Structure 1
């Protein structure tokens, strides 16, 4: 991420665009052969360690050249019987927004994230994760994908998505039950599970059809890799970090919409994770994560910066953009901010993204799929940006899909049109903020006031600009926007098909890559990119309005009845 910030700073201030790397930078066959050599050397060392012939600390010759040695130190093997889950996971707990202490890395604060930032094991070994099903609305396990040599994962955040197992598909242990089954007992006492991944060489979709939309399937086994290639920017010091082309894998676990009486750990202990070689040796790999934790847990206060109306690229006619990659979205936003909107500008963004990550709508799966590194496979991420001048307010109106209302201890997980819906905003000037991806506001589905037809009105403003009629009694949800004028909005719409989805779910089948993201080769603004409800989402499309505090007070609550946009 640090190099991406430098890239954006250069792009924004000097208009200097780095050359898009050629794809592929190395042949997939060569990368697979080298990955196999790394795997063989690692396996040989583990077997010697298990016999007591070598120390537990992995020497530099065994570690992947390219990992972040400043954030991960003292990388070592641990025997199965000595595993402590607290040494395996870095946690970002769900939390309330606090303007004095905001977190970075683009979180949804309604989610508790568990990250194993290092997994390292040879091909053919099995990774097992054992834990208890959490008390929450949505739960998934995602692991870095099988190694195919065609897709890259630069610096852990830019590249192909993880291979996921969603809550409903996870197999409970004997004499236990899965509380995420449709209409299942959410409060079941015996709720232990086991998830198994095989470390594999090969194409993710060919190894397992569950790694294709809707990303569902038998939960007994998935395929992954704990050895990853970082692509050309891994070796390029002038534009990338230049540490080297290789990296560890990782595991993400998410608990969304945690039951209020189980907040914030979802009422469960950390799961235990371990590897097993074909020959029976059981182990895990841990490290000293202080550098990583320090960087990820740094906070900042809400920044009092800017005082402007929205720029044209965030203006009256702009709707929503679908996200198919974090780096792609960042590069697209920078290009739009420089008013580089021509077909050649968009092609440059596509080429840059493909060269760095190996991903693109024109690539074979999995590199053409919606899931991208560090993103949830079950989320439709819709984004746009906004600036609010002092004295003005921003209003969103639309219809909320149905969702299972669970956080007050509901016993049954009912099917619905979606599993979860939230809207979170971030400091949009993140290249110039000490903490990147700084959260500012967040609201989820059951916190939003709905009328009898499930329509909502969200009003964003500074505290002093709150309209006097923006109250719950008037059916309006008011959100304190804080003092950061320009913010990026991310709508997380979680679908678990078919039980928690419907014909308007914003997944990649309904909203294809080439047509619904700004840089797409066939981008069609009318699908979701316009600020009206004539496109695909119809009444579920959040309409954007911008006006003075006084105008809203004069309108009263009638805004919810209109399909037209009010914009000053």
Structure 2
């Protein structure tokens, strides 16, 4: 099995290190860097040349290996080698996917690039096909809590996808909307038969040029639609950093597309692959030729398989930007969130600083709250369209503990072989933390802790008390018997937390769902032009989420032990 880590490009890691060392951020590129009409014209030429080559290959007139003049100038030649055509009959799904399987946290072997370890990720990192062709994905519904398919968006020339991780989000089809093959059952329907044996599907993406939302209205909140046809593109443009050798990689502006599949909350007896084989991907031209394009991914895998042990670094209380009054920030882009973290860590908090972060993000990705859809939508490159991502940071000094209290939304409790998928307030909920000093780490985005909904102790009102500490600082009363979930924080002092709140509306959603309608971009992320800290940014339950807002507490170990037994969120001091 090929394994990958959804990693930040090394060039970006070097850039971030320079930011923190030099105390400055890169110049914001102007938007647009080139007219969309020009980019569309060049993309169409790439498409036409590729289609002509595929037809010649199908007739036996040219080699299966694609020559450089057919490939997009800008793709990572170190990560993708020997790019070649494969006939339909010879497609092996094992060669199409690289995977990161769900796993338990092991402090001796931690993975990077901000994964949720309760999820198995399947990535087809190279799809390449002309406009007008169709991409077909055939597989089986996995045995898990949540499953979806996402493909790089249709080509519009307005939005960019820099180095596959920064830009517009993929176009998704979620488990419940997929029509199964004749004679099969979709186990993800509300109250559907989860254990059905016949569970095959077939999904089609039309490779298209145009606006994602015009082509397919399902590409907007709640990202639901009828039928098994969606729109995407296997040709992508990387924007100004594709030719910028100072801040970007400078390889060129063109790139392949990709496909992401996620299995969250896998049934225990089907762990970690969901109990199904890899799906098969193939393309079909309008003239009938069927094919796939694959590559040797060893360079990609070698760079991505690197792990690290938990780092014993730091011993300090939280900085002011992670302090007692700080709540949560809503994520609308990985690049935007990292740039925000860099600005806040440098104490750049003025309106001009926030405008700079917005302009930097817009110049590199073509995204922004003031842009037309899809560039103004919550989904962003490599993020899941059905997640509400909420983030903040924390530091824990030795001898102290960090506590989260709040109310858990209802979820379908499936991992022990439930027969049906019951409607609930959400589909999945997890809290994962990462080594926040990633610019100084050889593995970026190093996981440190993770806990999901059904692993958390709840009281009769679904309230939780989650205690984080180093092992030697675990309070004696931090036990399930006392209503407490304890998490080993490890030895890394400063960590970045991400709450993943997965909703599939309307069946697995409610009025507190943290989606872009309830928590709009301009108002709920730190750099937003109308940012209102009171919505989710304060450390209290007076904002939008109310009882469901995870409130942060910080105190001495002894202070927590003094709370005694039968601990509840009402007994916790605000911040000591």
- TM-score tier after normalising by the smaller chain length: over 0.9
Distance 1:34 1:323 in 2: 32
Distance change (3 Å), C-alpha of 1:563 and 1:283: farther
1:206 aligns with 2:214: yes
Matched, 1:163 2:171: yes
1:219 aligns with 227
Residues 343/67 of structure 1: CA separation in 2 closer, same or farther (3 Å cut) = same
Aligned partner (choices 327, 336, 339) of residue 344 of structure 2: 336
Name the CA distance, whole Å, in 1 between partners of 2:37 and 2:473: 60
Q: Helix, strand or coil: the match of 2:412?
A: coil
Alignment map for 1:51-90 (pairs within 5 Å): 51-90=59-98
Q: Which of 110, 116, 122 is residue 108 of structure 1 equivalent to?
A: 116
Cα root mean square deviation, aligned: 0.9
| Structure 2 match to 1:6 | 14
Equivalent position of 2:5 in the other structure: none
Q: Give deviations 1:448-484, integer Å, cap 9, x for gaps.
A: 0000000000000000000000001111000000000
Other-structure match for 2:277: 269
Distance 1:267 1:2 in 2: 34
The separation in 2 between residues aligned to 1:253 and 1:482, in whole angstroms, is 30
1:459 corresponds in structure 2 to 467
Q: Which moved more, 1:321-330 or 1:216-225?
A: 216-225
Q: In 2, distance between residues paired with 1:278 and 1:545?
A: 59
Aligned to 1:501: 509
8 Å CA contact 1:532–1:564 kept in 2: the answer is no
Q: Distance in 1 between matches of 2:467 and 2:110?
A: 21
Q: How does 1:525-564 map to 2 (within 5 A)?
A: 525-557=533-565, 560-562=568-570
1:242 aligns with one of 247, 250, 257 = 250
- State the shift of 1:529 in Å: 0.2
Partner of residue 313, structure 2? 305
TM-score (normalised: structure 2):
0.98
**1:192 has 2:208 as partner:** no
Question: What corresponds to 1:142 in structure 2?
Answer: 150
Separation in 2, partners of 1:8, 1:217: 39
CA distance in 2, matches of 1:67, 1:131: 28
Within 5 A, what are the aligned runs for 1:239-388?
239-388=247-396
Q: Is the deviation greater in 14-23 or in 49-58?
A: 14-23
Please give the per-residue CA displacement for 1:112-137, whole angstroms capped at 9, x wherever unaligned.
Answer: 00000000000000000000000000
Q: Report the counterpart of residue 29 of structure 1 in structure 2.
A: 37
Q: Does the CA contact (< 8 Å) of 2:483 and 2:568 recur in 1?
A: no
Partner Cα separation in structure 2 for residue 298 and residue 90 of structure 1: 15
8 Å contact kept, 1:533–1:563: no
- Partner of residue 123, structure 1: 131
In the TM superposition, residue 12 of structure 1 has moved relative to its aligned partner by 1.4
Partner Cα distance (2:271, 2:23) in 1: 46
Which residue number in structure 1 is paired with residue 6 of structure 2? none
Whether the 8 Å CA contact 1:387–1:485 is kept in 2: the answer is yes
Q: 3-state DSSP class of the match of 1:240?
A: coil
Q: 2:463 matched to 1:443?
A: no
> What do residues 409-436 of structure 1 show as CA deviations (whole Å, max 9, x unaligned)?
0000000000000000000000111111
Structure 1 partner of 2:413: 405
Deviations 1:295-324 (A, max 9, x none): 222111000101110000000000000000
Q: Distance in 2 between matches of 1:113 and 1:16?
A: 34
TM-score (norm 1): 0.99
- In the aligned structure 2, how far is the partner of 1:238 from the partner of 1:561? 50
Shift of 1:171: 1.3
| Structure 1 counterpart SS, 2:568 | helix
SS in 2 for 1:40: helix
For 1:499-518, what per-residue CA distance to the aligned partner results, in whole angstroms no more than 9, with x for missing partners? Answer: 00000000000000000000
Residue 45 in 1 paired to residue 45 in 2? no
What is the Cα deviation at residue 557 of structure 1? 4.8
> Aligned equivalents of 1:274 and 1:180: distance in 2?
25
Q: Which runs of 4+ in 1 moved over 4 A?
A: none
Contact (CA 8 Å) 2:553, 2:572: kept in 1 or not? no
Alpha-carbon distance in 1 for matches of 2:308, 2:251: 29
Please say if 1:514 is aligned against 2:498.
no
CA distance in structure 1 between the partners assigned to 2:273 and 2:541 by the alignment: 38
The 1:516–1:558 alpha-carbon spacing in structure 2 relative to 1, beyond 3 Å, is farther
* Structure 1, 288-297 or 418-427: larger mean CA deviation: 288-297
Moved more, 293-302 or 179-188: 293-302
CA gap of 1:553–1:236, structure 2 versus 1, over 3 A, is same
Q: Is the 8 A contact 2:406 2:569 kept in 1?
A: no
Query: Retained in 1: the 8 A contact 2:316–2:396?
Result: yes
Conserved? CA contact 2:143–2:274, under 8 Å: yes
Aligned-pair CA distance for 1:561: 4.1
Question: 1:220 offset after TM fit, Å?
Answer: 1.8
Q: Which residue is 2:496 aligned to?
A: 488
The answer for the alignment partner of 1:414 in structure 2 is: 422
- Cα 1:11–1:51 change in 2 (3 A) is same
Alpha-carbon shift at residue 564 of structure 1 (Å): 7.3
Secondary structure at 1:103's aligned position in 2? coil
**What SS does structure 1 have at the residue aligned with 2:348?**
coil
Confirm whether residue 183 of structure 1 aligns to residue 191 of structure 2: yes
Q: 1:471 aligns with which of 467, 476, 479?
A: 479
CA deviation digits over 1:157-183, x for unaligned, max 9?
000000000000011001001000001
How far apart in 1 are the matches of 2:101 and 2:228?
28
**Structure 2: tracts of 5 or more residues without a match:** 1-8
Per-residue CA distance 1:498-556 (angstroms, 9 max, x = gap) = 00000000000000000000000000000000000000000000000000100000023
**Residues 309, 389 of structure 1: 8 Å contact kept:** yes
What SS does the corresponding residue of 2:450 show, helix, strand or coil?
Answer: strand
CA distance in structure 2 between the aligned counterparts of 1:94 and 1:6, rounded to whole angstroms: 28
| Distance in 1, Cα, partners of 2:236 & 2:523 | 30
